[in-house]
Amino acid sequence: MDSLETQFEAILKNVQSYLPDPDLSILKKAYDFSLRAHREQLRAGGDPFIIHPLAVAKILSDLQLDVPTLAAGLLHDVLEDTNTSRETLCSEFGAEIASLVEGVTKIDSLEQVAWDPENLSFLSSSPEILKQAEYWRKMLLATAQDIRVILLKLADRKHNMQTLEFLTPEKRKKIAEETLTLYAPLANRLGMFKLKSSLEDLSLKYLDEQVYAALEKKIDEREVLREGFIRECVEKIQAALADQPIPYKISARPKNLYSVYRKMLRQGKPFEEIQDIIGIRLITDTIEHCYALLGAVQTSFTPVPDSFTDYIATPKNNLYQSLHITIQISRQEIVEVQIRTEEMNQICEYGVAAHWRYKEGGKSPAKKQQDSLEDKLDWIKQILEWQQDTKNPKEFLEWLKLELEFDQVFVFTPKGEVKKLPAGATPIDFAYAVHTDLGHQCIGSKVNGKMVRLDHPLKSGDMCQILTKKGQKPHKDWLEIVKTPRARSKIRKFLRENEEKGTRYRS
């Protein structure tokens, strides 16, 4: 293992590679402070505790985050695990860094459960569910105030996952399950795909070590055998684009281990029969050139039917934009080609972190960029609003997991507006996505001009028209049909308020 100083110097070098004139003295001071505060403490594996804050800061620097966030990464455990007070931290490092550290500490401190004791439905939940729900509620509250808090927590979780072998098998499984069902989807929802893939692979490693080891070995063996094939793919695509006067970069990458595992389960096939585990990426300078490259690829190769997806015209909610097309590269082989601009690639690599450059070079983020970031994080505020409509922590966790699931459909209104919904969403979900009153008054729906049932699953590209009737009210049965937290919370709220009115009237 490198010395502590060597590890810290690597962080400083990383920061200097992407920040102009960074204030490295703050990072040095934070490192020295953390080193002193944790000097008597050890990790579960026997290493000095300071290894953990250093690793978290390194992960944050790989995400190219600002100096205050890196300093908070070095200090993120001092309030919780040492005698350091908030006043001392604020005096030494200022309010901004102290606030970030305190945000992480408040999430981790779960001495009280804040669910409404007057609502007895929460008693059906185990203490562990109560604790987990309150943890995630605090996480979202802190994130709504400053997105950097969640980036600190994700970096913290990644390093904890990398050192999970020192815990008991029971704890390993529990932490891996939570990481796979909540942390990895959260990283995905924030557009941080490299971090998401890493968390998924680490989770699989501890949830099914035999499957992980076998898959890792097979993928490594196939990569060695397919180096020539990858080179051939790149050369064929370069030849097809030779006549295009368009600047571009090309690269190939294997898909992460967990995504291959999911594809095996989804298709019911062994690893040997899984195709399309290599992706080709084309990065160019403008959106116009993205579509020009797409046209050249489609002309030169046979596209796999129904494989084209345009995430540039219709971006994902998690910032992601790209063109996807799967092509037949040879008689037996297919590959996925992704085409995007350099800016889109940066967002793909870093997600919300790419939008978060605090005081970079002495400048604040541009207003347009900041407004865009706030729009992208609006779903966090929505979840917190939905949480107010339920006092059942188990239901809140289910809502959160559903919102973090990222299989989407894109459905059009009759006026051509696009509504993004989770896979399996129904016309009732669509109605509530447009407007609460439209949902309340829904009596039927047409999809692509044809009448359908209210539990009809919508697909991308559908045009949905909601039929309404004045005086119509939501049915309790709708709760069994809808998929979105928004629809469910609006229906529950309406039923609850009208039940209370009925009770008052009868009394």
d(CA 73, CA 50): 11
What is the DSSP track for 292-317? HHHHHHHHHSEEPTT--EETTTS--T
Secondary structure tally for the chain: helices H, strands E: 22, 11
Is residue 407 flagged as an active site residue? no
Tokens in use for 235?
Answer: 């050369």
Distance from the first to the final alpha carbon of the chain = 74
d(CA 453, CA 179): 37
d(CA 131, CA 423): 29
d(CA 31, CA 275): 47
Catalytic residue among 80, 96, 146, 360: 80
Give the contacts of 108 (CB within 8 A, at least 6 positions apart): 80
Catalytic residue among 5, 47, 66, 81: 81
Is residue 477 flagged as an active site residue? no
Contact present, 161 and 379 (Cβ < 8 Å): no
Tokens in use for 33?
Answer: 């402070």
| Strands (E) located in 350-483 | 408-412, 418-422, 442-447, 450-452, 464-468
User: Would you tell me the crossing angle of helices 86-108 and 127-145 to the nearest 10 degrees?
Assistant: 130
d(CA 493, CA 500): 11
What is the DSSP track for 469-481? -TT----GGGGGT
Residues annotated catalytic, as ranges: 80-81
